[in-house]
């Protein structure tokens, strides 16, 4: 099933790229339809896995990546529907396919969660963080498109991006909105994670819980991400930063998110390897 999802996201990515090149209405509709189909299939699979084990499939880095892809697809489709703008999908859909290949290649199967993860705080913690990461992914893509369009305008060569992307003002506004939403959910996720950890330290003896300290790379980098996005919002509101500075910060912040999500999540953490 994970292979099928990857193929659907990949086809959607190719269709969005073709639409970006020729702006054909039928191709655009096909791209949206394929992405919606992939998201619907993903929703069905997550629902079946939830019924199978009795909880959301959030255990393990691979399960979290699959959920992140699903949330990002939903968030983007909402953005496309409300803005009637498909150009961002050219950058979002390949990201979805690129991340979905991880569950596909690892032959991911949902597993029973250990007793330490049965707390409702855990589900709220992970769900909040994944939604925050989805918002940051959208902000990163918007930031990249802002930089590409700005470079084209600065060179006074109005070409591909000028004809296909929204204005710089709109992109900047969309970026800061996505960052604000992501920061809110990241803050909630970190606070809930702290509450859950404090309870687990008292009630549980799992050695992974004992490793949940600020020195663990997964936790340290998550707090570092929060600091980056907090500074970005502060710089925007108090220092008047807009445009390229915010775009670069959005791109850098999500690069750190991906670093924490994949290599650290798989290889370096001692506390989040459930």
> For the chain, which residues make up each domain, given as ranges?
1-113, 119-274
CA distance 95 to 98: 5
Give the per-residue pLDDT at 261.
Answer: 81
- CB–CB of 104/3 below 8 Å? yes
Tens digit of each residue's pLDDT, the chain (274 residues): 788 999 999 999 999 999 998 888 899 999 999 999 999 999 999 998 888 878 788 877 788 899 999 999 999 999 999 888 899 999 999 999 999 998 888 766 766 777 777 778 888 999 999 999 999 999 999 999 999 999 999 888 777 888 888 899 999 999 999 999 999 999 999 999 888 887 766 555 666 666 677 778 888 999 999 999 999 999 999 999 999 999 999 999 999 999 988 888 777 776 665 5
Phi then psi for residue 111, to 5 deg, are: -125, 160
Give the per-residue pLDDT at 194.
Answer: 87
Tokens of 195: 């509450």
- CB–CB of 6/32 below 8 Å? no
Terminal-to-terminal C-alpha distance of the chain: 23
Give the per-residue pLDDT at 92.
Answer: 95
pTM strictly above 0.85: yes
- CB–CB of 185/226 below 8 Å? no
SS3 label, residue 58: coil
- CB–CB of 272/218 below 8 Å? yes
CA distance 55 to 256: 29
Phi then psi for residue 14, to 5 deg, are: -65, -40
Give the per-residue pLDDT at 240.
Answer: 92
């Amino acid at each position: 099933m994970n292979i099928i999802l990857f193929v659907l996201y990949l086809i959607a990515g190719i269709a969005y790229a073709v639409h970006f090149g020729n702006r054909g209405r039928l191709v655009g509709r096909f791209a949206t339809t394929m992405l919606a189909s992939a998201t619907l299939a993903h929703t069905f699979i997550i629902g079946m896995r939830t019924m199978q084990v009795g909880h959301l499939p959030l255990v393990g880095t691979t399960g979290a990546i699959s959920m992140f892809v699903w949330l990002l697809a939903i968030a983007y489709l909402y953005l496309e529907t409300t803005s009637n703008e498909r150009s961002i999908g050219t950058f979002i859909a390949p990201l979805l396919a690129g991340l979905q290949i991880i569950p596909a290649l690892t032959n991911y199967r949902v597993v029973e969660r250990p007793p330490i993860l049965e707390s409702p705080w855990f589900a709220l913690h992970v769900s909040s963080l994944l939604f925050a990461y989805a918002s940051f992914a959208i902000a990163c893509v918007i930031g990249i498109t802002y930089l590409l369009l700005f470079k084209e305008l600065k060179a006074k060569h109005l070409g591909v991006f000028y004809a296909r992307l929204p204005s710089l003002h709109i992109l900047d506004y969309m970026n800061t909105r996505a960052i604000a939403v992501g920061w809110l959910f990241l803050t909630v996720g970190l606070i809930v994670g702290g509450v859950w950890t404090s309870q687990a330290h008292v009630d549980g003896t799992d050695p992974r819980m004992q490793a949940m300290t600020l020195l663990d790379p997964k936790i340290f980098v998550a707090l570092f991400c929060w600091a980056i996005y907090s500074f970005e919002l502060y710089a925007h509101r108090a220092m008047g930063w807009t445009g390229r500075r915010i775009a670069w910060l959005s791109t850098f912040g999500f690069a750190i998110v991906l670093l924490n999500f994949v290599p650290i999540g798989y290889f370096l953490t001692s506390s989040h390897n459930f």
